[in-house]
Copies of this chain bind each other. A is one copy, B any other.
Amino acid sequence: MTTSPDLRGLKFNTDGLIAAIVQGAPDTPEAGRVLMLAWMDRTALERTLATGQMHYWSRSRAKLWLKGETSGHVQDVVAWHRDCDGDALLFHVRQRGGAACHTGHTSCFFQRLERDGSPAVVEEKRVFDPAQVYQTAAAANSPRAQEVPQQP
Protein backbone atom coordinates (compact mmCIF):
# COMPACT_ATOMS: atom_id res chain seq x y z
CA MET A 1 0.00 0.00 0.00
CA THR A 2 1.53 3.31 -1.05
CA THR A 3 -1.62 5.43 -1.00
CA SER A 4 -1.13 8.81 0.66
CA PRO A 5 -2.80 9.41 4.00
CA ASP A 6 -5.78 11.74 4.11
CA LEU A 7 -4.49 14.96 5.66
CA ARG A 8 -7.37 17.20 4.61
CA GLY A 9 -8.45 17.84 8.20
CA LEU A 10 -5.08 19.38 9.07
CA LYS A 11 -3.97 22.99 8.82
CA PHE A 12 -0.33 23.58 8.01
CA ASN A 13 0.86 27.12 8.77
CA THR A 14 2.20 29.67 6.27
CA ASP A 15 5.60 27.93 6.46
CA GLY A 16 3.92 24.63 5.58
CA LEU A 17 4.42 23.25 9.08
CA ILE A 18 2.26 21.81 11.85
CA ALA A 19 3.21 21.49 15.53
CA ALA A 20 3.63 17.97 16.91
CA ILE A 21 3.55 17.28 20.64
CA VAL A 22 5.28 14.01 21.46
CA GLN A 23 4.25 12.08 24.58
CA GLY A 24 5.34 8.75 26.00
CA ALA A 25 2.68 6.16 25.17
CA PRO A 26 0.80 4.21 27.85
CA ASP A 27 2.64 1.06 28.97
CA THR A 28 6.07 2.47 28.17
CA PRO A 29 8.64 3.65 30.75
CA GLU A 30 7.98 7.26 29.69
CA ALA A 31 4.17 6.92 29.84
CA GLY A 32 2.51 10.30 30.07
CA ARG A 33 5.71 12.33 29.88
CA VAL A 34 5.64 15.14 27.36
CA LEU A 35 8.92 14.45 25.60
CA MET A 36 9.25 17.26 23.08
CA LEU A 37 7.55 19.67 20.74
CA ALA A 38 8.68 19.61 17.13
CA TRP A 39 7.44 20.60 13.69
CA MET A 40 6.41 18.57 10.68
CA ASP A 41 5.92 19.47 7.08
CA ARG A 42 3.66 17.33 4.93
CA THR A 43 6.54 15.08 3.87
CA ALA A 44 7.71 14.50 7.44
CA LEU A 45 4.19 13.54 8.44
CA GLU A 46 3.77 11.21 5.47
CA ARG A 47 7.12 9.54 6.23
CA THR A 48 6.13 9.18 9.87
CA LEU A 49 2.90 7.43 8.94
CA ALA A 50 4.50 5.29 6.24
CA THR A 51 7.41 4.09 8.41
CA GLY A 52 5.90 4.23 11.91
CA GLN A 53 8.89 6.27 13.11
CA MET A 54 8.79 9.96 13.94
CA HIS A 55 10.14 12.29 11.26
CA TYR A 56 10.26 16.07 11.65
CA TRP A 57 11.17 19.19 9.75
CA SER A 58 14.28 20.63 11.35
CA ARG A 59 13.83 24.39 11.23
CA SER A 60 17.44 25.03 12.28
CA ARG A 61 18.86 22.85 9.50
CA ALA A 62 15.97 23.27 7.04
CA LYS A 63 15.75 19.56 6.26
CA LEU A 64 13.80 16.41 6.90
CA TRP A 65 14.92 14.73 10.09
CA LEU A 66 14.42 11.16 11.23
CA LYS A 67 14.47 11.47 15.02
CA GLY A 68 17.23 9.17 16.25
CA GLU A 69 19.09 8.98 12.94
CA THR A 70 22.34 9.83 14.76
CA SER A 71 21.73 8.48 18.25
CA GLY A 72 19.62 5.46 17.37
CA HIS A 73 16.99 6.77 19.77
CA VAL A 74 14.10 6.58 17.35
CA GLN A 75 10.47 7.04 18.35
CA ASP A 76 7.95 4.41 17.28
CA VAL A 77 4.45 5.74 16.71
CA VAL A 78 1.77 4.16 18.90
CA ALA A 79 -1.13 6.56 18.20
CA TRP A 80 -1.74 10.01 16.83
CA HIS A 81 -4.39 12.68 17.28
CA ARG A 82 -5.28 16.10 15.95
CA ASP A 83 -6.67 18.93 18.00
CA CYS A 84 -10.11 20.51 17.71
CA ASP A 85 -9.10 23.04 15.09
CA GLY A 86 -6.67 20.80 13.21
CA ASP A 87 -3.53 22.89 13.63
CA ALA A 88 -1.68 20.75 16.18
CA LEU A 89 -0.92 17.03 16.51
CA LEU A 90 -0.32 14.79 19.51
CA PHE A 91 1.71 11.63 19.03
CA HIS A 92 2.01 8.81 21.55
CA VAL A 93 5.35 7.11 21.03
CA ARG A 94 7.61 4.39 22.33
CA GLN A 95 10.93 6.18 22.92
CA ARG A 96 13.90 3.93 22.27
CA GLY A 97 16.93 4.57 24.45
CA GLY A 98 14.79 6.07 27.20
CA ALA A 99 15.43 9.69 26.33
CA ALA A 100 14.13 12.10 23.71
CA CYS A 101 16.34 15.08 24.45
CA HIS A 102 19.71 15.63 22.80
CA THR A 103 21.02 16.64 26.25
CA GLY A 104 20.46 13.08 27.49
CA HIS A 105 17.36 13.90 29.54
CA THR A 106 14.17 11.87 29.14
CA SER A 107 12.19 14.95 28.15
CA CYS A 108 13.24 18.18 26.47
CA PHE A 109 11.12 19.85 29.19
CA PHE A 110 13.46 18.80 32.01
CA GLN A 111 13.95 22.39 33.18
CA ARG A 112 11.25 23.44 35.63
CA LEU A 113 11.02 27.17 36.23
CA GLU A 114 10.12 29.06 39.35
CA ARG A 115 7.30 31.56 39.27
CA ASP A 116 9.83 34.38 38.85
CA GLY A 117 11.27 32.67 35.77
CA SER A 118 14.47 31.46 37.40
CA PRO A 119 15.46 27.84 36.72
CA ALA A 120 14.71 25.28 39.43
CA VAL A 121 17.31 22.69 40.40
CA VAL A 122 17.14 19.76 37.96
CA GLU A 123 16.90 16.66 40.10
CA GLU A 124 16.29 14.11 37.38
CA LYS A 125 19.47 12.48 36.11
CA ARG A 126 20.41 12.22 32.45
CA VAL A 127 19.63 8.86 30.84
CA PHE A 128 22.69 9.06 28.61
CA ASP A 129 25.83 11.13 28.18
CA PRO A 130 25.33 13.05 24.94
CA ALA A 131 29.08 13.34 24.27
CA GLN A 132 29.38 9.58 24.36
CA VAL A 133 26.24 8.83 22.32
CA TYR A 134 26.97 11.29 19.55
CA GLN A 135 30.72 10.53 19.47
CA THR A 136 30.03 6.82 19.19
CA ALA A 137 27.50 7.43 16.45
CA ALA A 138 29.93 9.69 14.60
CA ALA A 139 32.76 7.17 14.84
CA ALA A 140 30.53 4.38 13.57
CA ASN A 141 29.38 6.45 10.64
CA SER A 142 32.12 8.72 9.39
CA PRO A 143 30.06 10.71 6.86
CA ARG A 144 28.10 12.03 9.85
CA ALA A 145 31.18 12.80 11.93
CA GLN A 146 30.51 16.52 11.72
CA GLU A 147 26.81 16.22 12.40
CA VAL A 148 25.58 18.11 15.43
CA PRO A 149 22.93 16.66 17.73
CA GLN A 150 19.44 17.63 16.66
CA GLN A 151 17.23 20.03 18.47
CA PRO A 152 13.54 20.51 17.73
Contacts and interface: CB of A to CB of B under 8 A. Distances in A.
Given A34-B34, A118-B6, A113 B82 contact: yes
Interface in A83-107: 83-85, 87-88, 90, 101-103, 105
A19 B152 CA distance: 13
Contact of A37 (B19, B36, B117): B19
A142 B90 CA distance: 36
A14 to B, nearest CB: 10
B81 A109 contact: yes
Contacts of A21: 21, 34, 37, 109
Interface residues of A, number: 42
Instruction: Give the interface centre of A3, A5, A21, A84 by most chain B CB atoms within 10 Å.
Output: A84
A81 B112 contact: yes
Interface string A1-32: 00101111100000000010101000000011
20 contacts: A3-B116, A5-B117, A6-B118, A19-B37, A21-B21, A21-B37, A31-B32, A37-B83, A79-B112, A80-B113, A81-B110, A81-B112, A81-B113, A82-B109, A83-B108, A84-B102, A84-B105, A84-B108, A84-B110, A84-B111
